[in-house]
Amino acid sequence: MFQKLTGYLDSIRARDPAPRSRAEILLYPGVWALAYHRVAHRLFRNRRYFAARLVNHWSRWMTAIDIHPGATIGRNFFIDHGFVVIGETAEIGDNVTIYQCVTLGGTSPDNGVAGKRHPTLLDGVIIGSGAQVLGPVTLGERSRIGANAVVTRDVPEGAVMVGIPARSTLLNAETWQKDFVPYGTPCSEIFDPATQKLELMRCELETLRKRLDAMIEARAADDDTERRGRA
């Protein structure tokens, strides 16, 4: 039990640069929301629906994260921050990361039967903040959904989706092979101007900082060479 917990906390630490210790991660609302969900899901599977809903209601009040007791969630699921909604028939694989204000929502079945209404997320999926994934769609392994994107169709394995409605963006193979990229997409030209202006500004600031660092290093090298020449 302890090994499973430490393994889970370490998996979060590998994806989030903020925490300094495992103890700090234990205060994350996403960790508590998942713990409450494990209890609620077991009650739900045993047909104790009211008790499951009661645990869900308490969890939502405590964490600002609403996970329906019927949702199926795999190992090392990480919700970074809160205000996430996950529907009843959602299925989530292993090592999935979701950022704040994401909805895994349902659509009304055409035939009126309450069957599969919510998304399926395969292993390694990353969903950026504010994204909406709606209906019984499948997100392929290691696919990434950009901030504020709206997904209503299946997403291929390894694809990066941005925009409204979400569309695929080309991604270099070496970038796809990375184990994890914080916040879903690398700092590059992979952005949607209408929905990711902050990401663009961050990229420009990082580029400017790198240029300034290079100028400072070059200046220091010149000064060092000049001092040696005088000596």
Q: pLDDT tens per residue, the chain (231 residues)? A: 788 889 899 999 988 888 889 999 999 999 999 999 999 999 999 999 999 999 999 999 999 999 999 999 999 999 998 899 999 999 999 999 999 999 999 877 665 456 889 999 999 999 999 999 999 999 999 999 998 999 999 999 988 898 888 888 765 544 554 556 565 555 544 444 444 556 666 666 777 788 888 888 888 888 777 777 776
User: Quick one: 148 and 226 in the same domain?
Assistant: no
User: Quick one: 150 and 203 in the same domain?
Assistant: no
User: Quick one: 200 and 229 in the same domain?
Assistant: yes
Return d(Cα 144, Cα 52) in angstroms, integer.
Answer: 31
Nearest to 135 by CA among 123, 158, 118: 118
User: Quick one: 9 and 63 in the same domain?
Assistant: yes
- Residue 191 placed within a domain: no
User: Quick one: 130 and 220 in the same domain?
Assistant: no
Expressed as residue numbers, the domain containing 207 is 196-231
User: Quick one: 219 and 144 in the same domain?
Assistant: no
Please count the structural domains in the chain. Answer: 2
- Residue 190 placed within a domain: no
